Structure 1
């Protein structure tokens, strides 16, 4: 799907659910802010992975079911199911991205896109080893990193407007943004299921991605 189609789909998913998703994103933002403000950097390192997984579980529930978005307890799923995998995955993703960034900024950004689906994968497969989740994310993102970049770029105007509203407006954009990222994963996952049965589709998907040379 194109960025415009994903945004439209996400907007439709938020109808009647926006404020519940807003509350969910607000909770996650508040937890991150509190952890970052603490003097213990280790706390952020420990809770970030499980929170990312929990948010992914919640958002996938919103975009793939008829729920009203009121199952806020799903945000805790990352702490209930193989929390160690989520913690290690976050540490590895952070470390790998940092190492690539130390070489050059651009490769670091590209690898961040390659690792971007790790926590959605763990949301659906919590028993998966962290390294395997990262590998699957890289595999899923082959040929699609530019798509994700352009999708994120399409929200630039929204975020600028949010910052102009004393910064608080960003909070109102985040539910839309996060829901769209969840739909991107669902679209990508569906596409990859087709690729298992059609190698020619994979070639088409990967042929126009200028970032693919960094897939190692």
Structure 2
């Protein structure tokens, strides 16, 4: 019987693009990123945007696209610093600085526990466009990398996965950021490591933690 381990987590999401698709038309002089509402105040350069998994959802790391075999995590957070926020329509940029995962379990045969999931090589560059598309890219000549350490029937196994970039979709109606079946390929690890990994998760709400009350962030 074949044994598989878990796929890697997409960064930041890094792991970590943090902007939202406009639900309503914004004023002509609105910035791409605003807080409180689509027509609210412009998010300042240097502000830190944060998000956790949407209530009642999990981050999924499947061994096949759309599959149910793999790892699920009950907790995950994203953090990014705004580096540019031009007038809309346009593209805001961010530096994705952190992504964490917790409460992770696996239903893969032979895997007895998930020791850690680590997003490597941060920060990553994030581009959040007015049309709601969000792209996460590594430094020139590099890749997005995630390391997964598992407990298996054969002992501890380390799986390293890489992707050239990641994409997400944002929504102002739920102030959310969604990654769907973002594909990684195995860079190194035991034969027990699956050859590919697919990351899906919804983070909401995305907030500006540098502003009092941490208001929700919108994209225009």
Normalized against structure 2, the TM-score is what? Answer: 0.26
**Which of the two has greater helix per residue?**
1
**Which of the two has greater strand per residue?**
2
More contact order relative to length (CA 8 Å, sep ≥ 6): 2
